[in-house]
Structure 1
């Protein structure tokens, strides 16, 4: 898998799939989720809540990934990735597990290009470098050959931090 880093708005980086941050209740309440709600309106929120209702649950477990439509955003669909627990805690292992689940779903749907923010780094406790450490080993995972993952951050210093963490983690492998 090729991993690219970019500064900008993740909702404007066209790809087959967006892996979006998500909370266990699948509420589009802030960060990237709030931006999705603002851009698309309530339809995706309604779809996510209908999913929870169909599962007879009020929340999904940490590590879950739930697919929704993308509305007018430049993606075929969105994968809402829950890389935090109900207390907004996370770990490198949980982020990696969640991203792997999302990538597996993207492959099954025929996606080749994927865009994502750094999961568990806004409302979650992880640093940008932690996210880079979590995903770096996935670049050499043969399951993901042929995929292009673009990680979008808001500031150049975050891009630099992310790139350094990915490079350091790759040399440790």
Structure 2
């Protein structure tokens, strides 16, 4: 009897795995998003000037936009990190969210003569994202050797994409979209 129960239990377990596995393998991605969470790098090292940071909410993702002025195209490097670190000081910047994206763009926030091109009212809250689905905090994380770094705190390590678009009047918009879910 004990052997019969074991055989039945094994058969039920095998059947449940066979029924569940195909459904999981064929599940559609959230909103059709197939971005992944690996590092994204693109563009050239043509130096621009950081002039604005803004954000918006979409149905399936939250969007960060960094505006760079000057002849382009300009490039970027976006990656998940354990902590947001101030560049070049190395000071830890506390950032809300379980996931942290370091967004580096090839553009300084000042002219060669030192004139500031982007001066946020609050470097620890570049954009008010309170209550957003995915974003938790947007922080300035430094400007060093022609590269500006923005820290983006997100709810979790979620899929994201990054790309560059031409900016009206010249320059580049660096766009980072972070999905609401996997």
Structure 1 and Structure 2 fold alike (TM over 0.5): no
Higher strand content, 1 or 2: 2
TM-score, length basis structure 2: 0.24
Bigger relative contact order, structure 1 or 2 (CA pairs below 8 A, ≥6 apart):
1
Q: Larger Rg: 1 or 2? A: 2
TM-score, length basis structure 1: 0.25
